[in-house]
Amino acid sequence: MPLPGGKCALPEQQVVSSSLPRQSHVCPAFTHSGRSSVKARYFSSVIVVRAQAATQSLQGCKLAGSGSSVPEAVLTNTDLEKLVETNDEWIASRTGIRRRHVLANGESLSQHAATAAQRALEMAGIAAVDVDLIILATSSPDDLFGSACQVQAIIGAKKALAFDLTAACSGFVVGLVTGAQFIRTGIYRNVLVIGADALSRYVDWRDRGTCILFGDGSGAVLLTQQQAEQPCSLLGSSMASDGLGQKHLNAMYCGEGMKALHETHASARGSFENISMSGQEVFKFAVRAVPTVVEAALADAGVSKDDVDWLVLHQANQRILDSAATRLGVPSDRVISNLAEYGNTSAASIPLALDEAVRANTIVPGNVLALAGFGAGLTWASAIVRWG
């Protein structure tokens, strides 16, 4: 929990019991010889020193740079008129979407995620070799085992640990809060948080209820260790899940059970269903969850909605953005929206919208932003941050 001035302190008892091993946890094997006893005393001393350091304060983090990348190929509402019974006016009036970018043959999500990451590093003035951690929030990696390591290889972040995080459209916010903890506890100095999705791969392009919504894209933010005595840029957060709502939005595995013994499917490819969504249920969930989670994050930060310069929400539907802003009492001219151009890009939508606003000088250093994502899981998450 941030304290006044951006400092974050933990009670000594909490640090010793939760964050670090107790001295009594030294493995018995270390006490079987004189040499082992020396090791035991050394490790015990290290634990005590680390515990004492942790009780002083947590290191602040800073949002130092942003980047984004989207495919060149575009599907307009007019294009969709040729696929399903719809038209531009019907789609735009109900969603706010007019275009969406989709991966073409030969394009990979990893490459777009890497491009977004490189642009964030360039803005921050940090070399890829100095990145300590890469968190890729995605539900649609190129590789079932994850694409973060591919991004690491492409950008040349040789020293970085890289892993995927799956929390659907809430993924970027969850990733941002997760990455911040590695910096605030002093483990890492530079953390890349990327939101990237290619849900066009899992859309039924003959289903009017879903094909009008989704597009592909990537966005990234570089978190760096804040200078000494500077306040932490992550002011507060709130995150939640409800697995009982999973039935309303999912893309289920659809392969055969006991595949090894199946005569005709033993060598079949594993696969997932296209996205299934109960539109009305998801809409009702979103308009309730977004204001609630933003208010909780504001309370955690110790600030009010009047302190927020910009509302940067998951770009799912313009009616959801408008409803959330109204319920929060935030004027529409303080809500970032690029939905018309990109549609719903899932985990990419918040960093993509953020990057565009930063590069347009709409969001400037010192601005307080309320970020909020919501989606499959069901999950919802908000972070109150100061840009730059």
DSSP of 90-139: HHHHHH---EEE-PPTT--HHHHHHHHHHHHHHHHT--GGG--EEEEE-S
Written as six digits, the tokens of 3 are 């304290």
Report how far residue 199's alpha carbon sits from residue 274's, in angstroms, rounded to the nearest whole number: 9
Residue span of the structural domain in which 8 resides:
4-55
| pLDDT value for 56 | 53
* Residues 185 and 49 occupy one common structural domain: no
The residue out of 14, 33, 55 marking a domain boundary is: 55
Instruction: Tell me if residue 232 is catalytic.
Output: no
Contact at 8 Å (CB) between 88 and 63?
A: no
Structural tokens at position 240: 């939640």
Q: Burial letters for 68-89: b for 16+ Cβ neighbours within 10 Å, e otherwise?
A: bbbbeeebebeebeeeeebeee
Q: Which of 101, 248, 314, 338 is catalytic?
A: 314
Pair 187, 312 in one domain: no
Q: Output the pLDDT for position 1.
A: 47
213 and 153 in a common domain: yes
Would you give per-residue pLDDT tens digits along the chain (388 residues)?
444 444 444 443 333 333 333 333 333 343 344 445 545 554 454 444 444 444 456 889 999 999 999 999 999 999 999 999 999 999 999 999 999 999 999 999 999 999 999 999 999 999 999 999 999 999 999 999 999 999 999 999 999 999 999 999 999 999 999 999 999 999 999 999 999 999 999 999 999 999 999 999 999 999 999 987 889 999 999 999 999 999 999 999 998 788 888 878 888 888 899 999 998 999 999 999 999 999 999 999 999 999 999 999 999 999 999 999 999 999 999 999 999 999 999 999 999 999 999 999 999 999 999 999 999 999 999 999 999 9
CATH number where 168 lies: 3.40.47.10
Give residue-wise pLDDT tens across range 330-376.
999 999 999 999 999 999 999 999 999 999 999 999 999 999 999 99
Region of 258 on the Ramachandran plot (φ > 0 left; ψ -120 to 50 alpha; else beta): left
**Which has the closest alpha carbon to 324: 360, 293, 300, 362?**
293
Q: pLDDT (tens digit, 9 = 90+) per residue, 60-86?
A: 999 999 999 999 999 999 999 999 999
In a domain, 44, yes or no: yes
For residue 369, being part of any structural domain is answered with yes
CA distance 215 to 109: 12
Count CB-CB contacts under 10 A for residue 146. Answer: 18
| Catalytic-residue membership of 169 | yes
| Whether residues 221 and 238 fall in one domain | no
**Same-domain status, 209 and 164:** yes
Within a 10 A sphere around the Cβ of 126, how many other Cβ atoms? 18
| Residue 217 to residue 112: CA distance in whole angstroms | 7
| Whole-prediction pTM | 0.85
In a domain, 344, yes or no: yes
Of the residues 169, 248, 317, 338, only one is catalytic, namely 169
Q: Are residues 250 and 166 in the same domain?
A: no
Does any domain span residue 140?
Answer: yes
Residue 13: CA atoms inside 13 Å, Cβ hemisphere, count? 0
Residues 186 and 107 grouped into a single domain: yes
* Whether residue 306 sits in one domain with residue 381: yes
Confirm whether 205 is domain-assigned: yes
Domain count, the chain: 3
Q: Are residues 166 and 250 in the same domain?
A: no
Residues β-bridged to residue 386: 368
- Whether 85 and 118 share a structural domain: yes
Residue 264 covered by a domain: no
